[in-house]
Amino acid sequence: MIATVLSRLDAAYPSAEDRSKIESYLATVEGRRAALDEVRHQAGPVADRVMAGIRARYPQFARYRPTGYDKGHRDMVLLTNMVGNATFLGEHESLDDMFTHWYKTILKAAHMSPQFMRDTFALWHEALKACLSPAAWGLVRPHAEHLADVLTDLPVPARDETGERRTISSGLM
């Protein structure tokens, strides 16, 4: 956030609005650092919970993607760490520039259906909320929602390589 504000300065000194943004960020930096540490510590358990839900909803996924569950676990750890970084930075523009758009092209090329992605991110939000403290979740949530919104905005692929979706009546978590 500080780098973004300082790189967009129109004058030699920050305006009152820019100073206010910097001061607001600095006032919350300790909480953001604690949230980042918590996210890094919980990335594995969050990914475990998400992949358990995906296995229940998409049991045929491995038929289309033999290493899909393992790669999905790796990707969920990566996404969780990326959202922790965005939380610490206090903005998601850097995340979008460095990661989000690149990762979205991979999802398009992998023929992931929009429904599969919505299910995955719904499970991810549930897992984050369950594994993180309320304070950390409050800081992480806006960035997780942004990431989910951008990455679920996919076209319907020519061929769906996720398998048939099972409807789960009760919650998995």
Residue-wise pLDDT tens for the chain (173 aa)?
556 655 666 666 777 887 787 787 777 789 989 999 999 999 999 999 999 999 999 888 888 888 888 999 999 999 999 999 999 988 888 888 888 888 888 888 777 788 888 999 999 999 999 999 999 999 999 999 999 998 888 777 666 656 667 776 555 54
Domain-located, residue 164: no
Q: What's the pTM value of the predicted model, to 2 decimals?
A: 0.80
Q: Residues 6 or more apart from 41 whose CB is under 8 A from it?
A: none
CATH number, domain with residue 37 = 1.10.490.20
**Domain coverage including residue 123:** 29-152
Domain-located, residue 15: no
Domain-located, residue 68: yes
Number of domains present in the structure of the chain: 1
Domain-located, residue 20: no
Domain-located, residue 42: yes
Please report where in the chains the tokens 């960035």 appear, as a residue: 143
CA distance 34 to 106: 31
Domain-located, residue 172: no
CA distance 131 to 149: 21
